[in-house]
Amino acid sequence: MLLLERRPVDSSLMRWASPVLALVLTVITGFVLFLAMGKDPVEGLTFFFITPISDLIGLAELGLKMAPLLLCAAGLTVCYRAKLWNIGAEGHFLMGALGASAVAVQLVDASGVWVLPVVLVAGVLAGMLWAAIAAGLKTHLHCNEILTTIMLNYIALNLLLYAVHGPLKDPYGFGFPQSVMFGESALLPDLIPGTRLHLGLAFGLLAAVSVWVLFARSFIGFQLKVIGQDHRAAAFAGFGARRLTWFAFLVGGATAGLAGASEVTGPIGQLVPQVSPGYGYTAIIVVFLGRMHALGIIAASALLALTFIGGEMLQIAMNMPKAVTGLFQGLLLFYLLTCDAFIHYRIRLHAPVRKPTRVAAPAATQEPEMELLTNILAAMVVAGTPLLLVALGELICERSGVLNLGQEGMMLMGAVAGFVVALTTGSLAVAVFAAVFAGIGMALLFAFMAVTLAANQYAAGLALTIFGTGLSAFVGAGFVGESINGFERVAIPLLSDIPVIGRVLFHQDLLVYFSLVAFAGIWLFLHHSRGGLLLRAVGEDPEAANANGLKVLVVRYLAVVFGGGMAGLAGAYLSLAYTPMWTENMTAGRGWIALALVVFATWRPERVLIGAWLFGAASILHLVLQGLGWRASTELLAMLPYVVTILMLILLSFDPVRTRLNTPLSLGQPYRPSH
């Protein structure tokens, strides 16, 4: 049999060979994908990887796409070297674009060499300001930086949308959501005449080299590396963790803000909603692929920039969906993390396995005000159901010691699988099973990386989300705009006649009822069953559990698979009941909110139920306010769920002891059984 064995010394060869192997595996998978779609694989790969850079114009476009990736990746490298999991480059980028645009619009008639620097500085400051929010929440309130930066990304996007629909909207733009065109003095000069390549590429290359100098030649870079390797050693040496955290976040915000400012002052020349195709998220892949080294980041940014251009070429030449870009990017990160496991481990053939000894172990008429309240509460339960389903699954997963940040990707795969099957078969029951199995399939990929290969759980979860987002958009590209007859409400006799509560809880669709049954079952499982005790034992101390004969890896696999099935079901609820249709990214961050919800509930199912309904109320609040005649921007009101999530994390910071006591001790820590 095959066994992964820890290497005495990490393999330096695999450290640099892993990205190459990941790229080769991605190309092979792309070859198979084109064959499955009935396309010429050689032609498809040629259009994707070679044609875009076959002339000077193509190379210039490559440099144009590299610029924002280099800038964002440089800042993220500073954070990741210090083990600060800043996922907020996208938000910093958007705020940089928004800040620069706000100043450029005011200076549209100004001229002089001073205009462009002022616009760029405004973008840098806006990115730093946005990063400062996450830094403050991290250092002063101990809020999880992954969750806060993700929420800030969504808030930044809605602020940008508000700006182009409101105060920055061009009054002579024929109603399109865009700003006025900037003045000539606010635009970056071209590096190569006759192309769109501008000075932003020079900024990106300078940022990459500066990061190398920071870590190779400066004391603060040394401090950041020590903190990333051992917090206790850094504290003993007197390195200020709070000061270094602020430094890392502000650098990340500055570089991403500059990237956003460079994007709007480049060929675009104005602020538009589609200013970023996901540069901030793609930069995460650049950092891991480039090994956090300047040369590696430059090479990785060129490769990932090529995926953007190659995806556009495939759209034009072979009528492929635009989601092919995200699909290839997700595959690349998946394969990279898988290959990275062999830096620390090697395969041993026919190794004997020690078998541990097992030990026992409404008919009534209501007043208008009451009718309104009932409708609001019923809508709250409906809106909270997908959150409840995915959060219950993640609760079980985290209780086993595994943190899966891929909930968003699994939900999207469940949503698209359920909708496609429902549309093609006409059976909602079959569609639900398809969604569950889609979630389980994604969860198995994550479990293979995080449990079997003991890969970094944060990176593996991010890979799952990026891959799931791209794959779901790719699969569902031909089904956008279609609709089905979703689940209808079913009244439970007698119970549905109870005033208010009857309509709220007992006049819902079948998936709402299932979510309530699932909550009750999980509560009983955790608190009144031997299986729940074993699950918690594995999450608290896997070494002790293994010594007592428990199969830790099996337990963790089952927990991850259960979480995947529930995430797939949550996605199915969105596309089969909540809004019976398919649109890209229809989860709108619910997977990330569910992760915060589990923390807010301190890993207790009863609190998950209450929290899910509260978040459901927050998500429909803008509709309620509009119905009551309260006029406000739709984009601003759409930020409410993300703002509530951050406020919830702040509330948790006021009782850190209780949160710490309820946190599974091995959460997020890879486990490899000793033999």
In this chain, the answer to whether the domains covering 2-344 and 372-662 adopt an identical fold is yes
Give the model's pLDDT for residue 556.
96
Mean pLDDT of 149-176: 93
Helix runs in 265-293, H state only: 279-289
Q: Spell out the alpha helix ranges (H) of 454-589.
A: 457-475, 501-505, 510-528, 530-540, 542-547, 552-573
Helical residues (DSSP H) of 218-278, grouped into ranges: 219-229, 231-236, 241-264
CATH topology for 2-344?
ABC transporter involved in vitamin B12 uptake, BtuC (1.10.3470)
Closest CA to 572 of 642, 509, 640, 506: 509
- CA–CA gap between residue 46 and residue 324 (Å, rounded): 14
Class of domain 372-662: mainly alpha
pLDDT mean across residues, the chain:
89
Per the document, the length of the chain is 675
Please report, for the chain, the start and end positions of each structural domain, with discontinuous segments joined by +: 2-344, 372-662
Tens-digit pLDDT profile for residues 599-640: 888 899 999 999 999 888 888 876 676 666 666 677 787 888
Alpha-carbon torsion (427, 430, 436, 442), positive or negative: negative
In 3D space, the residue among 181, 212, 52, 158 whose CA is nearest the CA of residue 107 turns out to be 181
Task: Please determine, for residue 362, whether its predicted confidence score (pLDDT) is greater than 50.
Answer: no
Contact yes or no for 484/422 (Cβ under 8 A): yes
Instruction: Look up tokens 């990026």; give the residue.
Output: 466
Helix extents (H) in 82-114: 89-106
Phi and psi at residue 287, to the nearest 5°: -65, -50
| Secondary structure of residue 537 in the 3-state scheme | helix
| Nearest one of 223, 233, 438, 466 to 335, comparing CA atoms | 466
End-to-end Cα spacing for the chain: 14
**More confidently predicted of 654 and 86:** 86
Instruction: Please classify residue 656 by burial: count the beta carbons closer than 10 Å to its beta carbon, then call 0-12 exposed, 13-18 middle and 19+ buried.
Output: exposed
496-502: long-range contacts, CB 8 A cutoff, minimum separation 24: 496/362, 497/362, 497/363, 497/364, 499/362, 499/364, 499/366, 499/370, 500/370, 500/373, 500/374, 500/377, 502/362
Q: What percentage of the chain carries pLDDT values higher than 70?
A: 93
Considering only CA atoms, which of 289, 393, 282, 397 is closest in space to residue 667? Answer: 397
Residues facing residue 5 across a β-bridge: 346
Span 218-264, pLDDT tens digits: 999 999 999 988 888 888 888 989 999 999 999 999 999 999 999 99
Amino acid at 650: I
Q: Which residues contact 626 (CB under 8 A, 6 or more apart)?
A: 632, 637
Distance CA(431)–CA(657), nearest Å, equals 43
Query: For 404-431, how does the pLDDT look when each residue is reduced to its tens digit (9 = 90+)?
Result: 999 999 999 999 999 999 999 999 999 9
Residue 499: its pLDDT value, please?
82
Q: Can you give the pLDDT at residue 639?
A: 86
Mean pLDDT of 469-477: 90
Confidence of residue 564 (pLDDT cuts 50, 70, 90): very high
What was the pLDDT predicted at 2?
A: 55
**Using 50, 70 and 90 to split pLDDT, how confident is the model at 355?**
very low
Does 363 have pLDDT greater than 50? no
Higher pLDDT, 325 or 279: 279
Residue 478 confidence class, pLDDT cut points 50, 70, 90: confident
Classify 10 as helix, strand or coil: coil
Residue 4 is predicted with a pLDDT of 67
